[in-house]
Structure 1
Amino acid sequence: MSAKHYKFDVTMACSGCSNAVNRVLTRLPGVKNVEISLEKQTVDVISDLDYDTVLQAISKTGKKVNGGTIVSA
């Protein structure tokens, strides 16, 4: 199975918020890379996991996910 690239629009107020999202995602088995931009309020994830699994992991941090797209599958 090849890795997929997802981009999420996530409301994050501070570096603590982005660190919480990063911590949850990097602990997920199957996640290859995570790039978070606090300035742009985006979370880019390269993962073997499906979209919903990654979305649920971000949502569990309590941050508001305003949307997401599958950049490449």
Structure 2
Amino acid sequence: MTTHEFFVDMTCEGCSGAVTRVLKKLDVKFDIDLPNKKVFIESDKDTDVLLETLKKTGKTVTYIGPK
């Protein structure tokens, strides 16, 4: 299982809530670091799938790389 690190432009609890909602549908383990605007996703799914899912929040998303 690989842990992927993403930058997501989150500014509040509502933003992290949106991230939580879309990731729960994927059934992956994840951790949100709101102060640093990072999301860590533990998954074997393709990076593009994770990226597209995070983009559904309407936030700016950047894939940083495996952790």
Q: TM-score under structure 1 normalisation?
A: 0.83
Deviation at 1:66, TM superposition (A): 3.3
Structure 2, unaligned runs of 5 or more: none
Structure 1, unaligned runs of 5 or more: none
Deviation at 1:48, TM superposition (A): 2.2
Report the residue type matching 1:38 in the other structure: L
Whether the 8 Å CA contact 1:37–1:43 is kept in 2: the answer is: yes
Aligned to 2:66: 70
Report the residue type matching 1:22 in the other structure: T
Structure 1 counterpart SS, 2:6: strand
Aligned to 1:47: 43
Q: Structure 1 or 2: larger strand share?
A: 1
RMSD: 1.2
Distance 1:4 1:23 in 2: 21
Aligned to 2:20: 22
Q: TM-score under structure 2 normalisation?
A: 0.89
Distance 2:65 2:30 in 1: 15
Aligned to 1:61: 57
Q: Which runs of 4+ in 1 moved over 3 A?
A: none
The count of corresponding residues between Structure 1 and Structure 2 is: 67
Larger Rg: 1
Distance 1:66 1:51 in 2: 11
